[in-house]
Structure 1
């Protein structure tokens, strides 16, 4: 299974709830690369990853264990994850893995929950998981669970990593501190027919946490590219009309980034039929 990377086409913070969660207006699209997952029946839940945490420390294990308890599964699942998405990069790798595993378990354990029920149940484990379960590029509201399909612009992106992980909670805490000081503000959702491509309310907060990210973003914009941070960082994307333009940009960027990849923007999740027919 391919568990694809995602990018945020834009991200606005529209409210802060009493429980500390942030209301968002954002949009997601998939990329044509991602982590590779393999599944097999197993007496217990076992998760092996070639990079990052394995076992109970992996989000996939936590989601599967909770879902097994929820549906009364009588068997486990063995999951192998070959990581290709940078960890802590804002590309949704852990959430994509968890969503893919949940879709597989939903079928293999005979639960057959509809997609809407999976989304409502899974959002507690991460605001990015619903977009991968939804199966289509989408606009998201609430904390990420209110989804409606969109048609993303056709194009290619150069994805570049700053070279250090950023913790999502720390970035939002940085934004909260700026908000209390009047250095950040809530925004209204974008108009229904608009695509404010490249806007990200978390950029200043993330750059305050990571000088490397700030330098990378500045270097990409200095070259005249339409560039922005995706998610809560530490990956940035630059948008191009063609693959050739993106490849030339990758060569020009050189070792300014710790990691870079050219990818095509996709509207559909590779397993979208599993999501729709869950």
Structure 2
């Protein structure tokens, strides 16, 4: 005869929880989703950064790679990031650094890259041992005040050091540079905008915290893509997109006809939709 062995506990069934399966699954799935969101997938609205980008900025600050200093090898930066703050692969961290330096990917690059950092055609950047980097003025604005108790710090993954929970962000990075990410059950795709227009909208909000989307969009005309292009989306559609957070922005390339002689010509694209190769 099979002997029934109760689960560990005090003998009163304290380890057995009677609850509907749907509730147990939904609660645990939500916890997993939130850990994914906060851990790597979606940017923090306060500084517009995912953890890997924030750690790159902080590591470069610790290395004193300010805009007016000499650049250092990207391999040094990546090594500090994965050794102290971000225990992941060096390839993924370097790719994140490269993107922060590409003027066709960032409206306001946060990394001043020296060397081959790829191009809009999709060619890869040179290896990290060849390229060098330092912070830009925009990145410095994100970090200003970090040594003055402007933000909270938390222990790093191994408990040997500390890292900022969020950057002070004296620059509207989330909307200025935009961001995208896919998490568990949700995603985001925010286009870049003109920083001067964003500041004007912020001034309106300071005067009237209840200002609606239509009033703010009198100052923020719409996305401002680093690769140019012409927005062909109707104004009403854009207003609905900004008001609801759902929708899209259609962009058209600009081109010129260039005569090549003997009755032939070629089409030269001068501005191209964002993230199109």
- Decide: shared fold, TM above 0.5: no
**Structure having the larger proportion of residues in strand:** 1
Give the TM-score band, short-chain normalised: under 0.3
With a CA cutoff of 8 Å and minimum separation of 6, indicate the structure with the bigger relative contact order: 1
How high is the TM-score relative to the length of structure 1? 0.28
Structure with max Cα Rg = 2
